[in-house]
């Protein structure tokens, strides 16, 4: 009996794609176009538990088992989020890391075995840039930030006044 060639896929290391890819989600965390996980139909996979954290850490990876098939089974991401609902009010866009098997069809999208939502982004001047994380600060952290800003501003003003006084002499 002939041996089958079996390709072992390392799901622990991200695949380098050469350009950024994105996942577009509805405000409630569902896929903007439905997600084709099950052969023959769309499912409304909820990505909410896998979103990046409010302090900017990537979300938990999400994967599908079995053979992936473009437009039928797998986790779909795009290099052109505007074509997949990024401009719809309330929709959210995330950069992604992809792992494992990847299928391409020559378009802007790819089908992946495993993805990780890394960071939420928004469009500024036609470019996708990171949104600032929603960090919660303690009172002590706020006080230190305010103090640092005040001290730097005071030092800059003092220096500027000295230069003006010297110039007037």
What pLDDT score was predicted for residue 115?
Answer: 92
CB-based contact 72:39 (threshold 8 Å): yes
Tokens matching residue 62 = 């999400």
What pLDDT score was predicted for residue 40?
Answer: 38
pTM score of the predicted model: 0.67
Residues contacting residue 5 through CB under 8 Å, at least 6 positions apart? none
- Residue 27 is classified by DSSP as T
Q: Which residue has the tokens 């009172």?
A: 139
pLDDT in tens, 109-124: 888 889 999 999 988 8
Question: For the chain, which residues make up each domain, given as ranges?
Answer: 22-130, 137-169
Q: Which residue has the tokens 């005040």?
A: 150
Per-residue pLDDT of the chain (169 residues; tens, 9 = 90+): 444 544 455 666 777 777 889 998 888 887 766 544 333 344 567 888 899 988 789 999 988 888 888 888 888 899 888 888 777 788 889 999 998 888 888 888 888 889 999 999 988 877 788 877 666 778 887 788 888 889 988 998 999 899 999 998 8
Question: What b-and-e string marks burial along 42-68, b requiring 16 or more CB atoms within 10 Å of the CB?
Answer: eeebebeebbbeeeeebbebbebeeeb
């Amino acid at each position: 009996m002939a041996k089958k060639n079996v390709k072992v896929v390392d799901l622990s290391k991200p695949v380098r794609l050469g350009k950024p890819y994105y996942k577009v989600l509805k405000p409630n965390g569902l896929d903007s176009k439905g997600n084709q996980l099950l052969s023959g139909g769309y499912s409304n996979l909820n990505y909410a538990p896998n979103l990046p954290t409010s302090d900017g850490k990537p979300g938990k990876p999400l994967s599908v088992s079995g053979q992936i098939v473009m437009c039928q089974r797998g986790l779909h991401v795009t290099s052109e989020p505007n074509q997949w609902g990024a401009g719809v009010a309330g929709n959210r866009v995330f950069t992604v890391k992809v792992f494992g098997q990847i299928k391409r069809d020559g378009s802007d999208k790819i089908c992946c075995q495993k993805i990780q939502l890394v960071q939420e982004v928004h469009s500024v001047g036609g470019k996708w840039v990171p949104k600032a994380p929603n960090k919660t600060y303690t009172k002590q952290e706020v006080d230190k930030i305010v103090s640092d800003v005040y001290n730097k501003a005071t030092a800059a003003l003092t220096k500027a006044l000295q230069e003006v006084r010297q110039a007037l002499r």
